[in-house]
Amino acid sequence: MPRMTASEAFVETLVAYGVKNVFGIVGSAYMDALDLFPAAGIRFIPTAHEQGAGHMADGYSRASGRHGVCIAQNGPGITNFVTSTAAAYWAHSPVVVITPETGSSTIGLGGFQETEQLPIFSKITKYQAHVSKHPRMAELLARCFDRAMSERGPTQFNIPRDNFYGEADYDIGKPRKISRGPGAEENLTEAADLLAKAKFPVIVSGGGIIFSEGVAECVALAEQLNAPVVNSYLHNDSFPADHPLWCGPLGYQGSKAAMKLIAQADVVLALGTRLGPFGTLPQHGLDYWPKDAKIIQVDSDARMLGLVKQISVGIAGDAKETAKALQYRLANRKLESTANADARRKTINAEKAQWEAELDGWTHEKDPWSIKVAEDSSYMHPRQMLRALESAMPKDAMVSTDIGNICSVANSYLRFKRPNSMFAAMSFGNCGYALPAVIGAKVAAPERPAIAYVGDGAWGMSFNEILTCVRERIPVTAVVFHNKQWGAEKKNQVDFYGTRFIGVNLDNPSFAEIARAMGAEGVRVERLDDVGPALASACEAQKAGKTTVLEVMCTMELGDPFRRDALKYPERLLEKYRHTNVSVPG
């Protein structure tokens, strides 16, 4: 065990785990270690805000399949990581959040930049390590890396800042790749029996397929069963969209073809998905979840099995390994689904064709409020604009999406041929995710076009990171949907609160001009015909190191709301508020 300083042990552990990029904002707390980064071959990427750094680490890990790492100053720098860590938690991203803490000899005295940093993150991390003595530096940091990967989520490395100093004999860890198996024999046999007898099997391909690098195995199993494959919510890149068995995503603003097909299933194989409640809610008026079907759920976390949906068989396994094992068990067996394969293929094709035709014809939203606001506007219908972006999408693009009405509607228009291509804000659903996430993704895959879809409200929370793109020459394209409103929330006021608008209208400056002032390119797009060419040239400009903000002018029309499931019409009891009552339609 070589003798070294604690800072050296810290940096050497990062090197041992293959860390090449660390996102953060400088701070005295870890300056002794930071000073070593260049000599260690680690790029420190300074950001505009620590939340941005956390999302970048998340995007980096999602694009690369490797760890993302972020670091900041004790106290306020660390509390700025809360939202990004929660987002990474729900995206299952292996982000190592390094949180230097106030010095151990003065803790509790209320000195400078002090707060208890472990309780804050206790519910949004998979593991927390606290370095109480510097000789444990390397051991605990290595554990944070291993657990982030094996438990698929952020881990926290909390270190009182004085523990960056001192000497010891450190044993530098090596990454431990602990593979999960396909699940228990008896569960696999049960699942294979159900699948062999299924007349209309449907596969849900989830994030676990991406994380386990199991797309090829999922494709092989789908082909063996002639089973339509639907993507779990916001994992549109979990199955190749150009495959004949691909049917599109479930969930909010997802594919009607996917929903209508899964509704007919007698057996559902949910591969690598927790079947989260928000991702399986009724949509487009379709209550599609097949209540009488046998459900086989595969998840690497046994606690997710049967948590949300009733299941017939639960398999605690690695999605890829389970898909392989099932394929093996089904080979040379008589499969009921073979007999009617042609008919089912026809059904799949017909549903897909119908949905495409519906999308082509769905040029604008058809509710009375949307029709009225669009009539008075010369700007673009969001759906037409999203279709134009889809057609112009460059090959091999990575797209991050924010939380908002237009970003959500985009779900139907985002198709990918390969995994690690779509980075949505997942179930934590925080506005301000998409730009920093795609910046991190671009660092991980500089050769791929990187595009963020962001609403104008969410843009206000995150456009500071354009500074990072320019300063650090990380070229991305941001498509900002300028509709002058916090649209997703306004939709609730339209549908449930008698179109009384409170806090939802946005009087914005020109985001294209702001982008130019920040040193990026800024382009305002008002006409549908200009959308595709603008996206293409902005992505081309990435090759020359240029970041572009496309300010896309949209009407105020709004698609279906997020939370129809959770809102009620107001019913006030006090006289002074009675005028706000809205009577239930119909």
Ligand X SMILES: Cc1ncc(C[n+]2csc(CCOP(=O)(O)OP(=O)(O)O)c2C)c(N)n1
Instruction: Say which residue the tokens 């007698």 belong to.
Output: 266
Residues 288-347 binding ligand X (CB under 6 A) are: none
Q: How far is the CB of 530 from Mg ion (least distance, A)?
A: 20
- Nearer to ligand X by Cβ, of 182 and 457: the residue is 457
- Which residue has the CB atom at the shortest distance from ligand X? 455
- Determine, following the binding rule CB under 6 A, whether residue 253 of this chain makes contact with ligand X: no
- Nearer to ligand X by Cβ, of 249 and 432: the residue is 432
Q: Kindly state the tokens that stand for 520.
A: 């990026």
| C-alpha–C-alpha distance, residues 501 and 428, integer Å | 25
Neighbours of 4 (CB within 10 A): 18
Q: How far is the CB of 525 from ligand X (least distance, A)?
A: 16
- Site for ligand X (CB under 6 A): which residue of 13, 483, 542, 548? 483
- Nearer to Mg ion by Cβ, of 431 and 469: the residue is 431
- Site for ligand X (CB under 6 A): which residue of 89, 423, 486, 511? 486
Q: Which stretch, 189-197, 300-308, 343-351, 479-487, contacts ligand X (CB under 6 A)? A: 479-487
Q: Kindly state the tokens that stand for 225.
A: 């069963």
CA nearest 208: which of 141, 152, 276?
152
- Determine, following the binding rule CB under 6 A, whether residue 406 of this chain makes contact with ligand X: yes
Q: How far is the CB of 205 from Mg ion (least distance, A)?
A: 31
- Nearer to Mg ion by Cβ, of 221 and 373: the residue is 373
The 8 Å CB, 24+ separation contacts for 442-445 are 442/63, 442/398, 442/474, 442/475, 442/476, 442/542, 443/21, 443/45, 443/56, 443/60, 443/474, 444/21, 444/59, 444/60, 444/61, 444/63, 444/64, 444/66, 445/63, 445/64, 445/398, 445/420
| C-alpha–C-alpha distance, residues 392 and 381, integer Å | 17
Binding mask 428-467 for ligand X (x = CB under 6 A): -xxxx----------------------xxxx---------
Non-local (6+) Cβ contacts of 380 within 8 A are 526, 527, 528, 531, 552, 553, 554, 555
- Determine, following the binding rule CB under 6 A, whether residue 479 of this chain makes contact with ligand X: no
- Site for ligand X (CB under 6 A): which residue of 481, 518, 538, 542? 481
Q: Where do the H-state alpha helices sit in 230-300?
A: 256-263
- Determine, following the binding rule CB under 6 A, whether residue 487 of this chain makes contact with ligand X: yes
Q: Kindly state the tokens that stand for 242.
A: 């150009």
Q: How far is the CB of 457 from ligand X (least distance, A)?
A: 3
Residues in contact with Mg ion by CB under 5 A are: 455-457, 483, 485, 487
| C-alpha–C-alpha distance, residues 207 and 205, integer Å | 7
- Site for ligand X (CB under 6 A): which residue of 248, 279, 404, 436? 404
Partner that binds at residue 14, options Mg ion, ligand X, none, CB closer than 5 to 8 Å by kind: none
First to last CA, the chain: 76
- Which stretches of the chain bind ligand X, using CB under 6 A? 403-406, 429-432, 455-458, 481, 483, 485-489
